[in-house]
Chains A and B, each alone.
Chain A
Amino acid sequence: MKGRLITRAFLLAAAFVTFFPLYWILITSFKTQLDIVVNPTYLPWADFMPTLEGWKWLLTEARADVIRAITNSLIVSGGSAVIATMLGAAAGYGLTRFQYRWRFWRNEDIAFWFISQRMLPPVAIVLAFLLMFRWLSLLDTQVGLTIAYTGFAIPFTVWIMRDAFAQVPLELEESAGVDGASAAGIFFRISLPLALPGVVGSMLFAFVFAWNEYLFALMLTFQEATTVPLLLASRITSFGTHWDQLSALTLTNLIPAAILGIMLERFLIRNRTEGSLK
């Protein structure tokens, strides 16, 4: 029981550190510019008068932009998360179950090659994307951003899925093979369900990556396909930062992501009995 107490104390401390900034974002969305810069203020009504200006801006003047940006973000992030995880699962499964060999390239090398593509600072390649996308007429389209983000996420999803499949005991697959299941049947009925936490983790990762990405969204979109990070950054104006609007938008932007988290959380934990009964 002492262990549990320590655990709880640790979680409580972590929760405070995690939530204090989020609380700060929340109260900032109700502050005037002056309440922000002059002195730190903590409690609405107690030491500052809350104002609804930031939220009013969000719900009236900027409503169309906000809806468009969130829709774009959801489509682009969701799309690239699903595609990247599917391709990552295929590649990751292949890397754990089969030995590839091409000249001197082997599995380890291939896995590393996948990930090394993501090591270059993005600004070095963004211009190449600009040229490529203009040529393909993908500028300012959801499809274009989805393709770009899928490409960025794949190296990571491959690695995550490779690890997830590596943890699935080979015996289970072999016994299914003995029972006469086809290769596809084994993959979809046994391996994939057992690797479900990996699938969810990989999707969350790819989703968050696209959800937060800024530079490529900035350079490759103009109006139709702009995503939320761009709208957020546009609150940092030629007249300084509209902190209230920025905060309100940040919280609004957090809602879809949180819903996604709630929906996917249950799949993060593998139902162990189900797995071992098979």
Chain B
Amino acid sequence: MKHHLRLWTALFAMLALVAASCGDAEEEAEVAEPTTTAAAPEPEPEPEPEMADPGTPGNIPDPGTAAGRFDGVEVVVAGPAGQLDYMKDKAAEWAAETGATVRVDEIPFGELNDKVLAALSTDTFIADIINIGSNLGGDLMGGGFMAAAPEWAQERADWEGILPIFRSNQLSFGGVAYGMPWDGDVLMYYWRADAFEAHADAYEAATGNALRPAESWSEYAAIAKFFTENDWSGQDEGYGLVELPMRNNQGWNGFMTRAAGYAKAPNDPGFFFDPETMEPRINNPGFVRALEDWGAVIEYGPPGMLNFGWIENALSFVGGLAAQDIQWGDIGPMSKSPDSVVEGAVGYGPAPGADEYWDPVAEEWASGDGPNKAPFLGFGGWFNLVPATSNHLAAAFDLASFLGSPAVLAEAAVTAGTGVNPGTAATLDVDLWVSAGWPEDEAKAYTDAIRASLDHPNAVFDMRLPGFPEYKDALELAVSEALSGQHSAQDALDEAADKWNEITDRLGRDEQLRIYREALGLTG
């Protein structure tokens, strides 16, 4: 043991020495490592000639449209495994026309953001085009990692045909457009139209109310209770609902979809924070009641639902286990896939609203005409970005704008497994869906539900702030603790709000406030 004691002291002595001299040592390391890295970012990175200067579009010359214009160029596309398969096929068409070659690197979905961030922040080349979600996209654009989109690329992607909410919240940052379109995302409400029809009388007899698709979360809960308690699915088991509560999965989106109706007041632009003070609102009575009400309906879901992610949720619904579902637009095409038993039996609508909403200005519960709805654009959609480290900026934007062109997006939207949810004029066209084999009324119901959500004046776009992953983690933790009964909703959300304040202060309250206001379209 004596030996160990000596080692112990030696270890500590060494650590102390290193700690004491650390400043010098690290500065030397910085000299030895001249590249701009996260560990040693230079205060003012010198603009290298081939790098695009972020924020000044137009310095990438228009390559024109001549065939063979990128002979011998290799463009690398990186993104989440899965939807890249489709992109790969489309990129091959582009490559054949332009003479370029395209390499596609799949990154596991769960670690996509981590890997992209690690590579970009160390200036390691990762790809010429990155297919990424809106949550991280904001940080990447705001962090100066991305090249601004030239106007010719915007034109080819039919910029005006993209819904404004995506143009400003997804593809741009600080008023500068960087991204090329791919996906538009909003969480919606799905129900089993066939079961609703078959059990309308029984429901009315049991509850005294007519059975209709839920307009409010209280109706939604009553319907869920009814279907859980009654055998309706024709299978061994049938449940009233299926949602997305899992931590480190989609818990954030699941909760915000519900909370928006309770806490997004139509008369106030702010949702997550007070847009004047950056004080979190997530522990105000609106959010607390949302969480309490949510906790009360979890029992109407399939067993183990607290651990359900995207796939368990989607398959439970198209597998016929649940009467109602809160999900992204994918349920539409998925209900037509071979995995589905619910083809033609799905109803589509915007997410339900709350009977009363919390008015954060007057600090009281309020209500308008009917339930207060606030569709939540959770995740905010996939889109394509071109890193400033790309060696072939023109080719990258050429390909990205081709992938974001109306023709490609329209085909992608009606194909399952592409990641493309409708969010542009071309993809919300009823004729497109009819030509893909949908019955006209269903096509109309589907696109109408999406359009109604996206165009809703009270719609909430997902948070796009520096530190989003931290805010998200703190909130998902609180939600998960409350849903599993470890804390009350109020206590859990109070704790999360403290954490949010801590994060905001650490990142700089004024700067965070400025970015939040900008995202809400507030100036000054």
A→B interface (CB under 8 Å):
32-34, 36-39, 104-106, 108-109, 112-113, 126-127, 130-131, 134-135, 139, 218-219, 222-223, 230, 233-241
Q: How far is the CB of A197 from chain B (nearest CB, A)?
A: 29
B81 near A235 with CB under 8 A, answer yes
Interface residues of B in 88-136 (CB under 8 A from A): 103, 105-111, 114-115, 118-119, 122, 124, 126
Is B506 an interface residue, CB under 8 A from the partner?
no
Residue numbers in B under 8 Å from A238 (CB-CB)? 80-83, 109, 382, 419
Looking at B38, B103, B124, the one whose CB has the most chain A CB atoms below 10 A away is: B124
Residue pair B109, A237 in contact (C-beta under 8 Å): yes
Q: Report the minimal beta-carbon distance from B122 to chain A, rounded to whole angstroms.
A: 5
Query: By CB atoms of chain B within 10 A, which of A38, A127, A235 has the most?
Result: A38
**B319 interfacial contact with A, CB 8 Å:** yes
Q: In the complex, A230→B109 CA distance in Å?
A: 11
A243 closest partner in B (C-beta):
B311
| B417 at interface, CB cutoff 8 A | yes
The residue in chain B whose Cβ has the minimal distance to the Cβ of A38 is B319
Chain B contacts for A234, CB-based, 8 A = 81-82, 106-109
Number of interface residues of B (CB under 8 A): 52
Given A112-B7, A239-B310: A219 in contact with B107 (beta carbons within 8 A): no
Chain B residues with CB under 8 Å of A113's CB are 7
Q: Restricting to B450-498, which residues have a CB under 8 Å from any CB of A? A: none
Query: Which residues of chain B are near A230, meaning CB under 8 Å?
Result: 108
Residues in B neighbouring A127, C-beta threshold 8 A: 38-39, 118, 122
- CB–CB A112/B108 < 8 A: no
**Complex interface: chain A residues within 8 A of B321 (CB):** 37-38
Q: How far is the CA of A169 from the CA of B6 in the complex (A)?
A: 30
Binding site for A on B (CB under 8 A): 3-4, 6-7, 10, 33, 35, 37-39, 78, 80-83, 103, 105-111, 114-115, 118-119, 122, 124, 126, 235-237, 309-312, 314-316, 318-321, 330, 338-341, 382, 417, 419
Q: In the complex, A241→B109 CA distance in Å?
A: 10
> Does A126 lie within 8 Å of B80, measured CB to CB?
no
Residue of A nearest to B320 (CB): A38
The 10 closest A-B pairs by CB, nearest first: A240-B311, A237-B82, A234-B81, A233-B108, A37-B315, A238-B80, A38-B319, A238-B82, A104-B6, A109-B7
Known: A222-B78, A237-B109. 11 other contacts (CB 8 A): A34-B339, A106-B3, A134-B35, A222-B105, A236-B81, A236-B108, A236-B109, A236-B110, A238-B83, A240-B309, A240-B314
Which interface residue of B37, B38, B82, B237 has the most chain A CB atoms within 10 A? B82
Q: How far is the CA of A131 from the CA of B29 in the complex (A)?
A: 12
A239 to B118, CA, bound (A): 24
Contacts of B107 in A (CB 8 A): 218, 234
Closest residue to A230 on the B side, CB-wise?
Answer: B108
| A107 to chain B: closest residue by CB | B3
With contact pairs A240-B311, A240-B314 given, residues A131 and B122 touching in the complex (Cβ less than 8 Å): yes
A130 to B33, CA, bound (A): 13
How far apart sit A55 and B296, CA to CA, in the bound complex (Å)?
Answer: 42
- Please state if B33 and A131 are interface contacts (CB–CB under 8 Å): yes
Residue of B nearest to A104 (CB): B6
Residue of B nearest to A36 (CB): B315
A139–B107 alpha-carbon span in the complex (Å) = 16
Which of chain A's residues have a CB closer than 8 A to the CB of B81?
A: 233-238
Selected A-B contacts with CB under 8 Å, 18 pairs: A33-B311, A37-B321, A38-B320, A104-B7, A106-B3, A108-B3, A109-B6, A112-B7, A113-B7, A127-B118, A130-B124, A218-B114, A219-B115, A234-B82, A237-B80, A237-B109, A238-B82, A240-B309
